Structure 1
């Protein structure tokens, strides 16, 4: 987050976004929605009932231009007669019957067939309904990054499974994509090329190509950490991970993925025109953050305060080639605090649980809310458990796009009430009524609370974030 502020005066009157900036940003939102239309990918194996249920949900959501069902079961000829849709036309659905079970490869093959330039994928046993809007909005705001969803323990594990070496432009991390993910079609196309080039002598590992996908993108995935839920009846049929030698192949794939990437980034490729190199450049728009969407999928709460300084973990391929394997799982002692106080705790509708920074915050760190699109006249609240003195020393910054920020220095539209929590801890309820904000600040997508003015601060604690639907507030 940069420190672009303007028209800041000692009397705390400052001018916000102009009408031109507002309309330009709204138009850009529309353009992104049109440009990054999505194709939903569903893989069928044995659970036809789960596939039908997933298709109905995807049709009802109205988020997808098309749905591709890839049938990995050569013993079944799948057709649209199995679909019992809720008054939806089936024109947007395509079924591809594979002649063999190509396992992980199927989702990337299906994505290359998409008419859109981006694809959504989720396994048919996960319920994505309570974070899908947030995942899509997050992707469109930063489309050159893999976006995915996982649980807090796996999120923390993936932080450990990151790799940085600035000397060779290595900056990558791991993410599973089965709980819900969005990625560009060109990434799927390139991934299939990589598999044929770098795994041509390891055909058995191509079946586990998900393990290679995120690592070979050479960028840290953007992940929502959520309480994820299986769909009812999803335990029918055997899973790929329960097959013989899966763990052995998984370990081998994890080691090989980083070895291939590290070798190719280190290799001088300038004189080899036939060599397909891995990307050295990061195209992400935003820094890596910890983030969670609200229970109603209305907004994302996020922070750039990580439980681990991932870019400071030294990496040497000779010693650290097993970093991304099950030999390097976090202990419960290490991950316990994060799981108990992750960003998820600020959006679980329970003021007794809180997101905590876990340490004194540093200059430039922040917590923030992404309301998914530009909104006007928002009414929302925070419940904090850090001191009110600390809160008053945070800069309140607003943005239409997450890149250009203006500091809101006035107090108009902001009210604070103290309350005792059920655990008898002092909490403060802060209500933000943007209808009363100064001119130019009524509309925004992002709000951040930034430590840019301070050099030494205590721990931050946010216990609840909520959009208030009624303008008349009777209880807090």
Structure 2
């Protein structure tokens, strides 16, 4: 709940009786002005301090940073040397994202959704009629696009999102007060007169509100769920991300490149004593979330004493303050023009670590019951402002790792490449709360090298390229598996599972797949049937033909139509002594 006397720190969030445009303008004006008449002197001092800080930042960092830059290496303290080395390493890892880029000229123009429009014909904003009648789990979503100085990028994103029928509304927030955007800039007539295009609304901000505007804009959404992204990416995994989200619509589903996914795994924090189980993730490349989570976050901000600069960078707080582990898909991304991106800042990583430290410190303080200690520099509100119970499916049961290159399926495996979040406990003691130290302790666990992640990342199993391969980080135990979840039943995708082929360069993998693997199929991912058929081993693959799937349990003899299959598992029937490698999968005529 908001704290009395702190309304000038963050404007209280509410839904007025005015129009959507009036409410949006009110958010912008309130945050931009932030003036409390009763504290005029403090406001003047704050403006002066902000001006001094701004000049300092433009001068190339803090005074200490500039002094350190002028010192010879031998005179720089060891702690600062380590911090500088870590920042340089992080920048190199961030630059490695070029290894995971998808060529838009090849994949973008022809990409369309597999979901038919008639799944989203409910007149209810929440599709409640469908859900209550148990006839459909498919829900319409409001897309929120944050635009800065890349008008052409925003236009490309809108044109792409229009291809997906589950996007029922598009809200564009323009953070550039020097450039006015109009709805007409994004209106493209469809050649198909039967198509139902989403409504488009543009908000032109009176000031640059940075990330904060994503959340205020989502709170204005017509639908109960939001899809949020920046204007410098094209998300080619829309269908697969959506298919995963509708199966767990209370979670945060997002995606990033493999190197960043590996880094983010070290930014998960758990302490059962406090009820802490959270993790950080980037949102800008595309994220699905319930609008209710956004409302809760705005209330959390209202109960904190965050100052303007930190409120503006809300992305560095949102996922952590959910106190839930995000569901992150690791795969290639398709960038647009990123010349004005925030990630290009020279001090990006120091800002990230500083804000994450603040975010985790605050939630730890609140969960410890110390959120209202007077004078606390890290006040985060009351303990009741944060979730305590871990949401379902719990982290250990989340086995979806990546989208398929063709966006018709998701790659899953029960074998996690990284240590569990609970392998390192986040400390209760204030003096021990150090994210860099936590990260270092986590990476001392059974953690893969950057080279292993780069060469054997999850999406290489389903990237339609037999020269790249996913490899399990550990040998697979009995009942462990890798598999696929299709966005729709195979029949609706024009396929069946009468034949399956799996490629690998490792003879030991081919032998294991031939002798110690069972194929299981499911319509809903809950009830499974075992499939059998002819097995043929080629020089680089295992081929299964004439597959039929029957229930080995109480409904013995019940046969599953392979066209209805939406889930496939390739399960080990006993412990496998070697690593499993998969370079590609074919289901029917669909090559993955």
Q: TM-score range by the shorter chain?
A: 0.7 to 0.9
Q: Name the SS for the 2:425 alignment partner.
A: coil
Q: Which residue matches 1:319?
A: 432
Matched, 1:54 2:157: yes
Gaps of 5+ in 2: 1-129, 372-380, 552-556
Q: Which residue matches 2:180?
A: 77
- In 1, the alpha carbon distance for the partners of 2:311 and 2:565 equals 45
Q: Which residue matches 1:257?
A: 359
1:162·1:324 contact (CA, 8 Å) conserved in 2? no
Q: Which residue matches 1:337?
A: 452
Matched, 1:141 2:273: no
- For residues 165-314 of structure 1, what are the structure 2 equivalents within 5 Å? 165-198=271-304, 200-231=305-336, 234-236=337-339, 238-243=340-345, 246-267=348-369, 276-285=384-393, 287-289=397-399, 291-310=401-420, 311-314=422-425
- In 2, the alpha carbon distance for the partners of 1:122 and 1:154 equals 17
- In 2, the alpha carbon distance for the partners of 1:296 and 1:29 equals 29
- In 1, the alpha carbon distance for the partners of 2:183 and 2:478 equals 57
- In 1, the alpha carbon distance for the partners of 2:480 and 2:197 equals 48
Pairwise CA distance, 1:350: 2.5
**Gap change, CA 1:91 and 1:144, over 3 Å in 2:** closer
Q: Which residue matches 1:40?
A: 143
TM normalised by structure 2 equals 0.65
- In 2, the alpha carbon distance for the partners of 1:462 and 1:369 equals 13
User: What is the RMSD computed on CA atoms of the aligned residues?
Assistant: 3.4
**Gap change, CA 1:189 and 1:463, over 3 Å in 2:** same
Q: Deviations over 1:387-412 (max 9, x none)?
A: 4345543343333332x23241x52x
Q: Which residue matches 1:19?
A: none
Q: Which residue matches 1:356?
A: 471
- In 2, the alpha carbon distance for the partners of 1:369 and 1:333 equals 24
- In 1, the alpha carbon distance for the partners of 2:338 and 2:462 equals 29
Matched, 1:125 2:242: no
2:277·2:325 contact (CA, 8 Å) conserved in 1? yes
- In 2, the alpha carbon distance for the partners of 1:149 and 1:28 equals 31
Q: Name the SS for the 1:81 alignment partner.
A: helix
1:52·1:84 contact (CA, 8 Å) conserved in 2? no
- In 1, the alpha carbon distance for the partners of 2:404 and 2:133 equals 25
- In 1, the alpha carbon distance for the partners of 2:259 and 2:442 equals 10
Q: Which structure exhibits the higher relative contact order, with contacts defined as CA atoms closer than 8 Å and separated by 6 or more residues?
A: 1
Pairwise CA distance, 1:157: 0.8
1:56·1:86 contact (CA, 8 Å) conserved in 2? no
Gaps of 5+ in 1: 1-24, 422-426
Q: Name the SS for the 2:255 alignment partner.
A: strand
Count of matched residue pairs = 429
Q: Which residue matches 2:487?
A: 372
Pairwise CA distance, 1:74: 2.3
**Gap change, CA 1:390 and 1:138, over 3 Å in 2:** same
Pairwise CA distance, 1:108: 0.8
**Gap change, CA 1:244 and 1:388, over 3 Å in 2:** closer
- In 1, the alpha carbon distance for the partners of 2:296 and 2:365 equals 18
Pairwise CA distance, 1:99: 2.1
Q: Name the SS for the 1:373 alignment partner.
A: coil
The structure where helix makes up a greater share of residues is 2
1:37·1:116 contact (CA, 8 Å) conserved in 2? yes
